[in-house]
Amino acid sequence: MPKFILEKNGIEIIKLNKNIRKLISDDIKEDIHKKLKLGNSVNFERISKHINHLDNITFNNLFGSVANRYLSYKVTKEINSYINYFKLNRNFKKVFLHQMTPLDLKENQELKKNNYCVYYRIVRRKKNDTLFIHRDCDFWKLHSKHKKLAPIISNKYTKRIKIWLPIYGCNTQNSLKFFNYSHLHDIKCKYKTIKGLKKPEIDQNYVKTNKKNIVMPFKNFNSDVVMFDDECVHFAPTNTSSNLRISCEFTAMVLQ
How far is Cα 179 from Cα 215, in angstroms, rounded to an integer? 6
Burial of 78 (0-12, 13-18, 19+ CB in 10 A): buried
Residue 1 maps to a domain: no
Q: How many CB atoms lie within 10 A of CB 53?
A: 9
Q: Which residues contact 97 (CB under 8 A, 6 or more apart)?
A: 76, 79, 80, 83, 116, 117, 118, 250, 251, 252, 253
Residue 147 maps to a domain: yes
Range of the domain at 212: 6-255
Convert the pLDDT of each residue in 21-43 to its tens digit.
999 999 999 999 999 998 777 78
The total number of residues shown for the chain amounts to 256
Report the CATH number that the domain containing residue 235 is assigned in CATH: 2.60.120
Q: Which residues contact 165 (CB under 8 A, 6 or more apart)?
A: 16, 21, 24, 225, 247, 248, 249
DSSP letters for 55-90: -HHHHHHHHTSGGGSBPPHHHHHHHHHHHHHHGGGS
Residue 171 maps to a domain: yes
Tell me which DSSP letter residue 189 carries: E
- C-alpha to C-alpha distances, 243 to 126, 179, 247, nearest whole angstrom: 9, 26, 14
Band (1; pLDDT cuts 50, 70, 90): low
Residue 220 maps to a domain: yes
DSSP letters for 219-230: S-TTTEEEEEET
Q: Are 142 and 200 in contact (CB under 8 A)?
A: yes
Instruction: Give the CA radius of gyration of the chain.
Output: 18
Domain count, the chain: 1
Which residue in 1, 7, 27 sits closest to 161, CA to CA? 7
Share of the chain above pLDDT 90, in %: 88
- C-alpha to C-alpha distances, 9 to 2, 38, 200, nearest whole angstrom: 11, 43, 22
Q: How many CB atoms lie within 10 A of CB 186?
A: 5
Average model confidence (pLDDT) for the chain?
A: 94
Global pTM value? 0.95
pLDDT of residue 38: 87
Q: Are 95 and 252 in contact (CB under 8 A)?
A: yes
Convert the pLDDT of each residue in 202-224 to its tens digit.
999 999 999 999 999 999 999 99
The mean per-residue pLDDT over the stretch 118-132 comes to: 93
